[in-house]
């Protein structure tokens, strides 16, 4: 804490630097013995914040949408229809709710751990924009090539949502925010807070991936394995590249194309209600994640991005 309060009686928390020469998951560790306590309580605060803020913001957004639509039916009926993604309102609301995890993660890093929020993004610190854009291109190409190869011999049957251009606009605007929110929370804050508990740098990668997969709700074994594999790969990328950029790029590209294709092949509501996939679909998804991961790792080495704190 600052020894002398600033004018006006406000108390400003001093930003503490992370240990030098450590990887991304060790950024919140401290030498004063309080890092473990802060990490443990931080995980609890983060999970509680997730449970409170994401649904609360989604409800507020849908409340506004209900009023703007002239209060059609009851709010509960409108809410169920929207959250089933039968209306674009539900996608906007749920995605903004998950996007709020960016602010929650930054708040915990700044006020609970007393670190600058740029350390949440990378060990540089801050966003490495050229690397992010490069990874986004790799993810867009890699995921689509693997998907098309996996669909060889399978007919594509058009089943277009009503008002497809409205759906596409909403997806382009809000899916990246949702993907970034989940990465800041699961691969960002949770990995760093868990890394403050133990010295093993892979502990946070594995446990955050498990939490990520479980938080997706009801799912069969193959869909769980699919999501767990994505969480493990994204976490590994964060660890070996020293930042969130590759994971954000992979998540953004995956969600943009998953929902984008759904507009024309089966509907966004069907994608939202997906609870089961088979082993072939899981294998195709995981192969796409691996291709993107290898590409992002190659680009990180080529660009010589920082992998440890200064």
pLDDT tens digit sequence for 18-51: 989 999 999 998 866 677 889 999 999 999 999 9
Q: Give a yes or no: residue 283 inside a domain.
A: yes
Average pLDDT over residues 293-310: 97
250 by Cβ neighbours in 10 Å (0-12 / 13-18 / 19+) ranks as: buried
Spell 192-213 as b/e; 16+ CB within 10 A means b.
Answer: bbbbbbbeeeeebbbbbbebbb
308 in a structural domain: no
**Residue 6, pLDDT above cutoff 60:** no
Mean pLDDT in residue range 294-310: 97
Classify residue 1: in a domain, yes or no: no
Residue 254 confidence class, pLDDT cut points 50, 70, 90: very high
Domain annotation covers residue 85 = yes
pLDDT of 276 higher than 80: yes
pLDDT at 173 over 90: yes
Separation of alpha carbons 167 and 165, rounded Å: 5
Could you list the residue range(s) of the whole structural domain that residue 265 is in?
7-303
Q: Find out whether 215 and 54 touch, Cβ atoms under 8 Å.
A: no
Considering the domain boundaries, does residue 310 fall inside one?
Answer: no
Query: For the residues of the chain, what is the DSSP string, one character each?
Result: --SSPPGGG---PPPPPPPTT--GGGTT--SSS-HHHHHHHHHHHHHHHHHHHHHHHHHHHHHHHHHHTT--S-HHHHHHHHHTTSSHHHHHHHHHHHHHHHHHHHHIIIIIS---THHHHBTTTS--HHHHHHHHHHHHHHHHHHHHHHTTTS----BPPSSHHHHHHHHHHHHHHHHHHHIIIIIIIIHHHHHTT-S-TTHHHHHHHHHHHHTT-S--HHHHHHHHHHHHHHHHHHHHHTBSHHHHHHHHHHHHHHHHHHHHBT-HHHHHT-----HHHHHHHHHHHHHHHHHHHHHHHHHT---S--
Nearest to 195 by CA among 35, 306, 44, 15: 35
Residue identified by tokens 């409108």 is 78
Of 7-11, 226-230, 239-243, the least confident? 7-11
Q: Domain for residue 309, yes or no? A: no
* Per-residue model confidence as pLDDT tens digits over 95-120: 999 999 999 999 999 999 999 999 99
Grade residue 264 by pLDDT with cuts at 50, 70 and 90: very high
pLDDT at 23: 94
Q: Is the pTM of this model over 0.85?
A: yes
Residue carrying structure tokens 């998907």: 147
Q: What is the mean pLDDT of the chain?
A: 92
Tell me: cis bond preceding 243? Omega within 30 of 0 counts: no
**Amino acid 32: pLDDT:** 67
Percent of the chain with pLDDT over 70: 95
Residue 2 has a pLDDT of: 44
Q: What is the pLDDT of residue 162?
A: 86
Query: 27-41, 54-68, 162-176, 294-308: lowest mean pLDDT where?
Result: 27-41
Q: What is the pLDDT of residue 13?
A: 61
Q: How far is CA 232 from CA 166, 179, 239, in A?
A: 34, 16, 10
Residues 118-127 have pLDDT tens digits of 999 999 999 9
Residue 161's pLDDT band (cuts 50, 70, 90)? confident
Above pLDDT 90, what percent of the chain? Answer: 83
pLDDT above 60: residue 283: yes
Q: What is the pLDDT of residue 171?
A: 97
Residue 2 placed within a domain: no
Q: Residue 1: is its pLDDT beyond 80?
A: no
CA-nearest of 28, 15, 251 to 120 is: 28
Lookup: tokens for 137: 């291109």
Q: What is the Cα–Cα distance from 238 to 247, expressed in whole angstroms?
A: 7
Total domains in the fold of the chain: 1
Query: Can you give the pLDDT at residue 72?
Result: 83
The pLDDT of residue 154 = 80
Residues 198 and 207: their CA atoms lie apart, in Å, by: 12
Q: Is residue 59 part of a domain?
A: yes
């Amino acid at each position: 804490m600052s020894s002398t309060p600033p004018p006006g009686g406000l108390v400003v928390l001093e930003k503490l630097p992370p240990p030098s020469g450590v990887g991304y998951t060790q950024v919140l560790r401290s030498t004063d013995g309080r890092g473990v306590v802060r990490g443990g309580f931080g995980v609890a605060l983060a999970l509680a914040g997730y449970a409170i803020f994401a649904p609360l913001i989604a409800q507020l957004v849908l409340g506004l949408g209900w009023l703007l639509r002239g209060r059609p039916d009851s709010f509960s009926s409108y809410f169920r229809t929207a959250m089933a993604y039968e209306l674009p309102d539900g996608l906007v609301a749920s995605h903004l709710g998950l996007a709020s995890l960016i602010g929650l993660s930054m708040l915990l890093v700044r006020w609970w751990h007393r670190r600058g929020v740029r350390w949440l993004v990378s060990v540089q610190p801050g966003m490495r924009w050229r690397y992010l854009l490069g990874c986004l291109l790799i993810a867009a190409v890699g995921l689509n090539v693997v998907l098309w190869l996996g669909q060889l011999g399978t007919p594509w049957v058009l089943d277009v949502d009503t008002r497809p251009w409205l759906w596409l606009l909403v997806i382009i605007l809000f899916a990246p925010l949702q993907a970034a929110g989940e990465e800041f929370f699961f691969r960002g804050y949770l990995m760093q807070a868990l890394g403050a508990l133990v010295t093993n740098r892979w502990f946070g990668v594995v446990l955050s991936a498990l939490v990520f997969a479980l938080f997706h709700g009801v799912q069969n074994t193959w869909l769980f394995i699919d999501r767990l594999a994505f969480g493990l790969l994204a976490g590994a990328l964060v660890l070996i590249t020293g930042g969130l950029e590759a994971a954000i790029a992979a998540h953004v590209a995956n969600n943009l194309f998953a929902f984008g294709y759904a507009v024309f092949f089966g509907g966004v509501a069907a994608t939202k209600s997906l609870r089961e996939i088979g082993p072939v679909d899981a294998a195709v998804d995981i192969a796409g994640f691996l291709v993107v991961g290898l590409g992002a790792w190659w680009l990180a080495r080529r660009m010589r991005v920082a992998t440890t704190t200064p």
